[in-house]
Amino acid sequence: MRSPAWSRDELILACALVVRNGWRELREGDHAVQELSELLRSLPLHDGIAQELPQYRSVGSVSHKTTDLATNHPGYTGKPTKGGSLDKAVIADFIAREAEMLAAAQAIEEGVSSGELVRLPPQPDEVDADGTTASEGRLLARWALSRERDPKLRKRKIALARKRGQPLQCEVCAFHFERVYGELGRDYIEVHHILPLHVSGPRETRLEDLAFLCANCHRMCHKSHRGASWRTPAAVRTEIAEAAQQSPE
């Protein structure tokens, strides 16, 4: 049995290590490499292969991957090792959005250490229809979607809106389920975290962190597009306005 290809989440963690080391590779004897090897083997990915394959994400393989990431940086002057297309995509993301990608890595690390990510089951929408995963990693997308589907949190958000006399309508397009579907649509609305985990941090969700959305606008908030895998309701409203301006009369 061979080790599976590195996932985006794993590459984010490895590249964060390289970035923190000044875009230099790390050797097997480095304590940080040993810690990352242990962390990768504990991630809820690849169907528990760590128990079946002792060499999976070994210290040596982690060190080698840091070499791939360091030597495929555009500023590296030597001969690069053979990195894959996903390696290069993650490198480009760290160059373009270093603080955000480091925060994503930290959120994954904290999610694993707290046990939250290990306990979460896979979510239906954590992978896009084209097979791609969120730019901040599949595990964070899983975590965010799981939180949004918490029935208790959604119930509390709806109760607060009722108390304030606010309509249960989409905060992007103003779609109102009950007005369109009548009794069938009463009290139905989806909730969305305005900021993803790698921006807000894995804190306890507050009702102010949630927005009401229809199913269509909710999907657009999570859809990978232009290098980003999330956007706020305000950003989606802007996309709608721009599309309306560009459409022929």
Predicted local confidence at residue 249, as pLDDT: 59
Task: Please give the span between the terminal C-alpha atoms of the chain, in angstroms, as a whole number.
Answer: 59
pLDDT per position as a tens digit, 10-22: 999 999 999 999 9
Q: What is the dihedral of CA 129, 221, 122, 68, to 10 degrees?
A: 80
Question: What's the pLDDT at 1?
Answer: 67
pLDDT, residue 202, reads 63
Which residues of the chain register pLDDT less than 70? 1, 129-131, 197-203, 226-229, 247-249
- Position 214 scores a pLDDT of 96
Q: What is the pLDDT of residue 248?
A: 66
pLDDT, position 167: 92
Distance CA(227)–CA(218), nearest Å, equals 18
pTM of the model: 0.82
Q: What is the pLDDT of residue 145?
A: 82
Q: What is the pLDDT of residues 66-117, one digit of tens each?
A: 999 999 999 999 999 998 999 999 999 999 989 989 988 998 998 888 888 8
> Which amino acid makes up residue 140?
L
Strand runs (DSSP E) across the chain, as ranges?
190-193, 210-213
Contacts of 66 (CB under 8 A, 6+ apart): 14, 17, 18, 21, 25, 26, 33
